[in-house]
Structure 1
Amino acid sequence: MAATPDVTAAEVPLETLVDTANRIRRAIESVIEGKGDVVRLTLTVLLAEGHLLIEDVPGVGKTMLAKALARSIDCPVKRVQFTPDLLPSDVTGVSAYNQQNGEFEFKPGPVFANIVVGDEINRASPKTQSALLECMEERQVTVDGVTYGLGSPFMVIATQNPIEMEGTYALPEAQRDRFTAKIAMGYPAPAAELEMLDVHGASQPLDKLEPVATTAEVRALIQAIRAVYVSQSVKKYAIDIVTATRTSPDLALGASPRATLHMVRCARAHAALSGRDYVIPDDLRDLAVPVLAHRLLPSMEAQGQRRLPEQTIVDLVARVPVPDTK
């Protein structure tokens, strides 16, 4: 990849933002076939300074998607394989005694990277999963009373198998709430699966994937996303959608204020990727299910009726009045 000079947010016009995002998207899609919507949402979460949870059955490309995004950006990447015997210090780092100078030295863990890939996160114990709480929300790690800051950008991409599968733990509510969005890969279409057999059968495209954007570029894009305009009526619409989850009889636990913040951030990124420097209600409607559903707990009645939070969100969004932004 040709060297790219550092840029600042003030130097990033909307056209450049879209062009850079499209380069990253095309790089990921050279590895992940037939999943354009999934790749777009992944980029949306990255530019919204969020974290992504990918849940699906084994073998559909969850880890491949996370690795493809990581390799598309020229930045430090670390991978953690979550297992039942993984300790919190294996994730955050540990203070080790140095016999030469007689002092304790901090050995950074894998969270000290721009992109952290957590594979099968729900195979670790809740205690180990909670090691990510501070770094995901505050972008820092505290070990033995000393706080260490994390770099920018910082994104956790975690994969998990459905909770019904053997050897999995349920993610704590506080952990789920820190993930900006959750997506499911789903099975590929027959045509995409046929292409996968042709491409992946002869070689491993991930090995050939080269970075198409620098850390400085991504950092500048994130800053530029913050400048995307959100009107008061659209902000109120976001609050109305989240408030509806807190009063729904189908939900025992509604969305938190953090969810409102995440949805507006993602809406800014979604609008920019669509070539707009302002947010419209459709941005929020498109993001409501992936941003909100994983944070919600269905009521006992809803569980008895096998009614999923995703279905409840769709119904609530359909009932909340859409503001006139003209």
Structure 2
Amino acid sequence: MRSLWRTLRRTARAAAVATLGTAAVATSIAVQSLAAHADPAVYGTVRATPNVNVRPTPGTGQDPVFTAPTDASFQVTCYADGGESNSGWAGTNPYWDRIVDPAHPDTPLFIADVWLDTGGDITKQVPECTEGRSKEQPEPDDQDDQDLSGGQPADQDGSGQACVFLAPEGAPFAGINLGHVGWAFKVKETTKSGKALYWYGSTENNKADPLIKEGDDNGAWRSYGTFDDMLAEFGGTLHSTNRYKGYKCAKVDNPDGSAALKVAEWTKGAGYRLAENNCMDHVYAVLRSYGADVPTPKGDRSILNGVTPTWAPTVWFAWIPWELQKI
């Protein structure tokens, strides 16, 4: 595995200085390797009759946000111990499954695991929401999964972290895949156990409309959670049928999370234009306002002739000089 990722890292660095044709080939190699090691998303089906409460925290201490009917299906991103056992369709346990619902994109949502059919043991299917990596996922180089930004535990040195996510099969157009990217940045707040928290999102344009006027729905979304929450959500298919399969993160000194969040909110009404106001431009705007040193998207955007153009998100992602990781 280490040799595989060393190869991918060298490939990404080579793409940054290569010609257009070499960059396209290098990106294709990275895409194939990432796809071969991607894990499937986990979905759960409601087994309560006639419905089940969906709450904003794991446990019964908060009023329900809404009720979900029998047979409703949700993507599950992680699980949490609510502190007290629940009894239901699947038996008895203390776990609550964090779900994602498009109608509540900015709200944490939990369903008692005993009322959600995920087809297996939730503790072995997804990571724990606030306590690090899943049991099956090895620690990279003996580091905590939150410690990707310079060797410091969450927030001890006041630094931030910016990330770019890649869905390599995204934005199919004129016989090629231009690719699709998303953004993420770490905030000052942490969980009760001291884990870092992130805002993350993207502009999906799932209708594949090359032109969306300002104010119309461009598929922009954002979520808030731990690093594991973020990987689970980007790795699933809730927001896009073209799954995100890789990401790059870097430490940011003196981050401005408030400015980045304002730009993220702006992207919702910013419209969309294929060649000059796309997901890549929005990611760049969010992370630059945060303080990240991301490369400026370059290239002649009038060129689209069956060859991956230099301004495509896949090529821009390869140019970013941060370490490549898989989801």
TM interval, short-chain normalised: under 0.3
| Greater share of strand | 2
TM-score normalized by the length of structure 1: 0.27
Greater RCO, CA 8 A, separation 6+: 1
